[in-house]
A and B are shown apart, each in its own frame.
Chain A
Amino acid sequence: MSEALLSIQDVAVELPTPRGTLRAVDHVDLSLEAGRTLGIVGESGCGKTMLSRAILQLLPKKAKLSGRVMFAGQDLVRLAPERLRRLRGRDLAVVFQDPMTSLNPVLTIGTQLIETIQEHLELDALAAKRRSIELLTAVGIPAPEQRLAQYPHQCSGGMRQRIAIAIALSCEPKLLIADEPTTALDVTIQAQILDLLAREQRRRHMAMIIITHDLGVVAGRTDEVAVMYAGRVVERAPTPALFKRMHMPYTEALLAAIPKLETAPHTPLPAISGRPPDPTRPVPGCSFAPRCRYAAGRCHQAKPELVAGETAGHVYACFHPIQMAEGVGA
């Protein structure tokens, strides 16, 4: 195994709220090598976005972060703000869910793209402009020269997301974090954007983290998947191994709850009862236990640690793992 590009060690994020301290990320360990793709899957409020913010050191001011985020040999948590700022945008880039809010509405696309390029790479205005046009062509935007003079609101949602990707790619980052990059987009556009991300990732040999709530998005497009629930990583495995044999009941239930095209209409969906726990009031045992159909006494008392599964690199946190391919939806 080669040296990991990104290594998250024991990261925890706590947020003070009027209802008490909210543990958004609960001691997470993850690592990612250059040129590989990690999918982080979870429902809203599971802490996946907070984790990505922790990597980028873009947490809300009140948040308390502990642990280490090692990126290319440096600990981002302890890095001086000035060096961190230089790192972000250059080696570490991010694409957000809503391209309407992540682009500045009063600046033209050209200004935003060229400024980013000039800030991080030492290029003169003409070279920066040439590079912008190259980038826009690469992300599949027709007539890039005209686009440069336009404002974000003049573009469709899919176009804006392509532009946001172009800005993120502009400085050849080593790691791209895509936080729900296609959730706000239509299904046909979603496929195009995911293909675009995969193509650029291969071409540039960068590492990528795709954060999503949709297991379908990560299935064909990632090397490894981490499933999060209530702030913790509950299962992590190479993508093929995970889909072949899930050990954590939550992952299985999550997959089963997705309506499938193969099933006949009016087939009741195997729903997960209840709802995710209140993150301000942690439960003593496994946080999925109240909704889990395998849960037994021990699950309500002790927190299961991540243990290794049969396949290399497969870890899960469960006392009663699903052993065989007995579930898995169909």
Chain B
Amino acid sequence: MATLELSLPEEVEQPVRRRRRLGFLFWFAICWIVIVFVLAIFAPILPLQNPVDMDMLERRAWFSSEHWLGTDGLGRDELARLVYGARVSLTVGLCAPMIGLVAGGALGLLAGYFRGRFETLVVGSMDVLLAFPPLIFALAVVAYLGQSIPNLTFILGFLGIPAFMRVSRAATLTLARREFVIAAEALGASHARILLRELLPNVLLPLFAFFLLGVAVTIVVEGSLSFLGLGVPPPMASWGSMIGEGRESLDVTPRLAFLPAVAMFVTVLAFNLVGDTLRAITDPRQGAL
């Protein structure tokens, strides 16, 4: 007769280090984002020219030791404008999705957990918000409150709330039915504790991946709005407004539109790449092999 084996501790293997091959592209993306951030943050103390100083004698100048990337149609230093434009693009690009992340994420979490009438109300109001034409909303706010970076951030952030709400609600809905949530409830945990300790850490990751995507989209949207003249007020530079200004001299100096476009393209691509990779590697596997 075999005996009980309870006295034997269950052997637990040491974890196998999984090698995480992130690839060249991921590191390239990280490098690019770091460079853009450093340039944007330290722009005022870097030996750059003033981005709004005009030099009518040096209009559309070619690359030189004085103007590394040449000058634009009003003789302003292109490099300085690119770096200062990054400040605007990044400020708006990071702050606006943050509004969506916090407000939309919280609403979605609550709606997915509590369900019922609250959920119906939240989902309904988000549908209304989605149905409202975003461009008209942007126009109305700009016309009423004026053109400024905070206003632009607010508009873009507000418009992002429904999308974040949906991501967060969908994740919560599937998680709230999982047994570990019921287990917490059976332990006598309060709603707040279940929301913050059990659900939030699990919802945060899909939200964060979506946030990085949101950063990329917002940079593009900010560019489009600035291109349309609804973005930052001139003479301030942003990548979108630079492309817009460069458009007038596309035939003579295509680089004026092309350089900010490339900057925007690479930055957006970098954010998307990092977002995708992070989502892939931080997902804990559902079952041990």
Contacts and interface: CB of A to CB of B under 8 A. Distances in A.
Nearest to B20: A18
Q: In terms of DSSP, what is the predominant structure of the interface of chain B?
A: loop
Given A253-B2, A270-B2, A293-B2, A19 B8 contact: no
B287 to A, nearest CB: 10
A274 B13 contact: no
Contacts of B18: 18-19
A322 B263 CA distance: 74
A273 B5 contact: yes
B186 interface: no
Nearest to B3: A270
Contact of B13 (A253, A272, A278): A278
B289 A17 contact: yes
- Most chain A CB atoms below 10 A, which of B2, B16, B289: B2
B289 A280 contact: yes
A268 interface: yes
Question: What is the interface residue range for chain B against chain A?
Answer: 10 to 19
A256 interface: yes
Given A19-B16, A19-B18, A278-B13, A271 B289 contact: no
Nearest to B1: A270
Contacts of A293: 2
Interface residues of A, number: 16
Nearest to B21: A18
B11 interface: yes
A138 B16 CA distance: 52
Nearest to B18: A18
B4 interface: yes
Interface string B4-47: 11001011010010110000000000000000000000000000
Interface in A264-313: 268, 270-275, 278, 280, 293
Interface of A: 17-19, 22, 253, 256, 268, 270-275, 278, 280, 293
Given A271-B2, A272-B5, 19 more contacts: A17-B289, A18-B18, A18-B19, A19-B16, A19-B289, A22-B289, A253-B2, A268-B4, A270-B1, A270-B2, A270-B3, A271-B5, A272-B2, A273-B5, A274-B5, A274-B10, A275-B10, A278-B13, A280-B289
28 contacts: A17-B289, A18-B18, A18-B19, A19-B16, A19-B18, A19-B289, A22-B289, A253-B2, A256-B2, A268-B4, A270-B1, A270-B2, A270-B3, A271-B2, A271-B4, A271-B5, A272-B2, A272-B5, A273-B5, A273-B8, A274-B5, A274-B8, A274-B10, A274-B11, A275-B10, A278-B13, A280-B289, A293-B2
